[in-house]
């Protein structure tokens, strides 16, 4: 039962991911001190780098996908905040992403299983032991 709050938060925050920007929408706005992240800067692995590329293309319309960014949609928390949810792990995030398409129309999305593994690998790289949410 302890995983339920973390999975609920992930469900509410990632459900708004989309297939890409539409007319008039913009990508996540970085804070002045946070430069854009490139695949070469993603720590860990090739899957994490592919996950970042996927997130930048498909999720950044609503969510800040890199550390230190502000989400363009105020209702869509930054990936960094999601990744630092207490109890969240690769073991809890990956299965949720596999089954995350059962939500209201506004939050309905599906991700190819290979891309889910990459996205989860990237999101886990955003975990920090000293994380504190930004004040807005």
* pLDDT tens-digit map of 22-77: 434 444 444 433 445 554 455 567 999 999 999 999 889 889 999 999 999 888 88
Domain that holds residue 10: 3-18+42-124
Asked if residue 8 belongs to a domain, the reply is: yes
Q: Model pTM?
A: 0.68
All residues at 6 or more sequence positions from 93 whose CB lies less than 8 Å from its CB, including other chains: 10, 120, 123, 124
In a 3-state reduction of DSSP, which class is residue 123?
A: helix
Per-residue model confidence (pLDDT) at position 32 = 37
Number of domains in the chain: 1
CA 43 to chain centre: 16
Contact call for residues 86 and 6 (beta carbons, < 8 A): yes
Asked if residue 136 belongs to a domain, the reply is: no
Confidence of residue 98 (pLDDT cuts 50, 70, 90): confident
Give the DSSP H/E element, type plus range, for residue 50: helix 46-58
As given in the structure block, the two tokens for residue 65 are: 């996908």
């Amino acid at each position: 039962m302890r995983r339920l709050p973390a999975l609920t938060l992930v469900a509410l925050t990632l459900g708004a991911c989309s297939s890409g920007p539409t007319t008039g929408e913009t990508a996540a706005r970085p804070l002045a001190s946070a430069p854009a992240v490139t695949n070469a800067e993603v720590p860990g692995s090739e899957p994490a780098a592919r996950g970042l590329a996927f997130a930048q293309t498909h999720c950044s319309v609503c969510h800040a996908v890199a550390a230190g960014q502000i989400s363009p949609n105020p209702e869509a928390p930054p990936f960094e905040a999601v990744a630092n949810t207490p109890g969240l792990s690769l073991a809890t995030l990956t299965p949720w992403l596999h089954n995350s398409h059962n939500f209201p129309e506004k939050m309905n999305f599906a991700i190819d299983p290979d891309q889910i593994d990459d996205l989860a690998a990237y999101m886990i790289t955003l975990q920090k032991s000293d994380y504190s949410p930004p004040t807005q």
